Amino acid sequence: MSHSEQEELKKLSETKELIKKEIDSMNVELSDKQDEIVGMKKYFWESISEFDEFGYEHFTNRQMIQSEINMAAEKMYKRQTYERLLKSPYFACVDFLFKGEDEDESYYIGLASFTAGKSFLPVIYDWRAPIASLFYDFDKGPAFFMAPAGRTEGEITHKLQYSIKNGKLEYFFENDMKIDDDILMRELGTNANARLKTIVATIQREQNSIIRNESDRILVVQGAAGSGKTSVAMHRIAYLLYHKRKELNSGNVMILTPNPIFSDYISGILPELGEEAIVEMSFDEYAERELKDITAFESRFSHEEMLLNEPEGVLAVKKEMIDYKQSDDFLKEIYGFVLDLESDIVNFRDIQSKGVKVSGDEIAEMFFERFPDTPVLMRLSAIADYVMGQVEAREDKDMDPIRAEIIRDRFESLYRTREVKQLYIEFLEALTEKGIDCNVEGVKAEGPIPYEDVFPMLFLKLLLFGSGSHRAIKHLIIDEMQDYTLIQYAMIRELFDCPMTILGDRQQTSHVRNMQILEMLPKVLGRGVKLLELKKSYRSTYEIGSFAAGLIDDTETELFERHGKAPEFTKCSDFDDMADKMASAIAKQTEVYNTIAVVTRTEREAAKLYEALSGRMKCTLFDAETCEFPAGVIITPFYFAKGLEFDAVHVADVSKKNFNSPDDRQILYIACTRALHELNLYYTGELSPFCGK
């Protein structure tokens, strides 16, 4: 099949007309539907006094009205999809000759499927449809796709790519090989937005294999900075929602995000892909919810600041203790403590209350023999329910709720304590007696407990009380996997019994100790872990990528050859001079770029620079209270910038004094890999040795 420019312009025009016609038809249907709903509501209120006394007609009419409202909402959502298609109907076309056929057929691929009128065959195929895999996975020549009926073989005779914006064909070309570098180059060369963008037109083969993977229960993706990990994860969820409609919906998919800024950054991508937004939560939000009635705790960001600002001598001692509380040995101690609690947490004695009489020996037998798998601090409640069930059977009636509550309280009073914080302190005291310093006094003190104790205490609560309601989640995504500790992964294993997509980059951690993440995960989550790697980086220019790779001696990451300016170093006499030079450079860039970031090592440095720069330009400071990612100039410590990208990045004070430890090397790498097009580094005194100048 030929594809001349004239034919392609004609095809686009015809497709747009079909879409417009469908939108017009939907507008008429929606108007009629609205009139119908208004009429049904009017009838309902006029006739309500005449409905039958049992309420059947009342219920039936309400259900009918709600059903019509739901149908109208679905129609409106579909219309919105078609309105988006009108601006860019498709981005690719594959001409495929089915095995045994004489003529090839053209399949146009877009962000969503579109079928005109009563036709059975789509005019545009959704990028997630089985036949679309031909575009992503094969070059011109023999190919196959997995149709519902099975493997379908044939030959790709042509592959085309398009750029259509606002309904106009900007360009198209035939491409025999993989998704062409020219289109990818154009996309990567555009400016960043304050939202993560879809990559459906430029998904690479190695990315597509992850997106369409349905066979592995736990998929761990190690990806270099800028390899598209988060985009791949979100497109993967869109793909799974499309193919598993009967068993998966947006309400039972959750993503664990590092902070609210990142959540805001990725919030638009699923709606743009035609799916509803999924549940988002940070582990700290979960901890706050679960510990709100138990204790206040130091925030993660205060903890980060402490690690970044403490004197080296004091920090070394603290790090040793913090590392221990994230170790396998510490995890084993928690399990051992819970096991030992079974023998001393209950004072077994007889229970007698309003027709219920159970001896202490009987309770002990049930505690250890009948309910051994029930969490320790829920076990007596389970025994109470069992005993009350026997009483109800004997009395042949349901037990009065007040009587049941009294009996349950009697059973639970057998615990010497159910206070999680008290038990955690007992645990730390037991370790102290073994000669292990765990800062038990810091937990005992009034006020928030140290951050390093938050998740151990939460894990203890989880083991003692059980995992709660997270069984409703049917797919879990974990981003920035390298920032989670062993204890947190042990919690994840207990909380979520579902398929998972876990992604991150072991190099993008500010703590060198966390770089063993790939060795840790299979040990914690079991044998069903499949590890895949994305080694090619697309975000930064070749010059910025090469410099960043040199910071950590990275020889494995492949850099996409999009060239631009080399990183620029600016020597400054003092802080004020640095602020002046930074402001001058940013002023020029704001004429060109949408997003510019000033990245600092600490929040303290970010606040100081914000004070210096905010009088000269409009800018936003990222701190612990920030929940949105706006366009413009951002001033942020490095840990809020993780996972984000900016057109231009200015890294503050890369001096030897400020960046000198192994952790600082990783921090500098994180900061530099946020940049797409330009990277500026400023220093006073002597430049950090990591910069290699």
CA 453 from centre of chain: 24
Read off the pLDDT of each residue in 108-122 and give the average, rounded to a whole number: 88
457: left (phi over 0), alpha (psi -120 to 50) or beta: alpha
Provide the b/e sequence for 91-121 (b: ≥16 CB within 10 Å): bbbbbbbeeeeeebeebbbbbbbbebeeeee
Share of the chain above pLDDT 70, in %: 92
pLDDT band at residue 307 using 50, 70 and 90 as cut-offs: confident
Per-residue pLDDT, 54: 57
Q: Given this model, what pLDDT does residue 472 score?
A: 84
Mean pLDDT of 143-156: 91
CA–CA dist 276, 260 (Å, integer): 18
Whether 190 shows a pLDDT value over 80: the answer reads no
Residue 295 identity: T
- pLDDT tens sequence across 229-258: 999 999 999 999 999 988 898 989 999 998
Proportion of the chain above pLDDT 90, given as a percent: 59
Give the integer Cα–Cα distance in Å for 112 and 15: 14
d(CA 676, CA 678): 6
pLDDT of residue 526: 84
Per DSSP, the residues of 169-198 read EEEEEE-SSSSPHHHHHHHHTSPP-SSPPP
pLDDT for 317 equals 80
What's the pLDDT band for 34 if we cut at 50, 70, 90?
confident
Per-residue pLDDT, averaged over 70-97, amounts to 86
- pLDDT by residue (tens digit) across 373-431? 999 999 999 999 999 888 888 888 888 888 889 889 999 999 999 999 999 999 999 99
pLDDT at 176 (0 to 100):
60
Where is average pLDDT lowest: 84-88, 181-185, 298-302, 543-547? 181-185
Between 60 and 693, whose confidence is greater? Answer: 60
316 versus 566: which is more confidently predicted?
A: 566
Long-range contacts formed by 1-9: CB under 8 A, 24+ apart: 1/95, 1/104, 1/105, 1/106, 1/157, 1/158, 3/93, 3/158, 3/160, 3/172, 3/174, 5/172, 8/162, 8/169, 8/172, 9/169
pLDDT at 97: 94
Q: Looking at residue 267, what is its pLDDT?
A: 86
Q: Which residues pair with 449 in a beta bridge?
A: 297
In the block, tokens 């109907």 appear at 89
Per-residue pLDDT tens over the stretch 643-676: 999 999 999 999 999 999 888 999 999 999 999 9
pLDDT band at 518 (very low <50, low <70, confident <90, very high): confident
Query: What is the residue type of 515?
Result: M
H-state helical runs in 434-485: 440-444, 454-465
- Please state the rounded mean pLDDT for residues 286-301: 91
pTM: 0.86
pLDDT score of 157: 93
**What's the pLDDT band for 95 if we cut at 50, 70, 90?**
very high
C-alpha 681/C-alpha 691 separation (Å) is 10
When pLDDT is averaged across residues 317-323 and rounded to a whole number, the result is 87
pLDDT 10s digits, 574-611: 999 999 999 999 999 999 999 999 999 999 999 999 99
Among 92-106, 510-524, 553-567, name the one with the lowest average pLDDT. Answer: 510-524
How many residues in total does the chain contain? 693
CA pair distance 253, 288, nearest whole angstrom:
21
Q: What is the arithmetic mean of pLDDT over 619-633?
A: 92
Higher pLDDT, 120 or 258: 258
From the CB of residue 348, how many other CB atoms can be counted at a distance below 10 Å? 15
Find the helix packing angle between 283-291 and 454-465, rounded to 10°. Answer: 60
Q: Are 308 and 342 in contact (CB under 8 A)?
A: no
Of the given ranges (266-280, 359-373, 545-559), which has the lowest mean pLDDT? 266-280
Residue pLDDT, tens place only, 436-471: 989 999 999 988 999 999 999 999 999 999 976 677
pLDDT at 399: 85
CA 586 – CA 583 distance, rounded (Å): 5
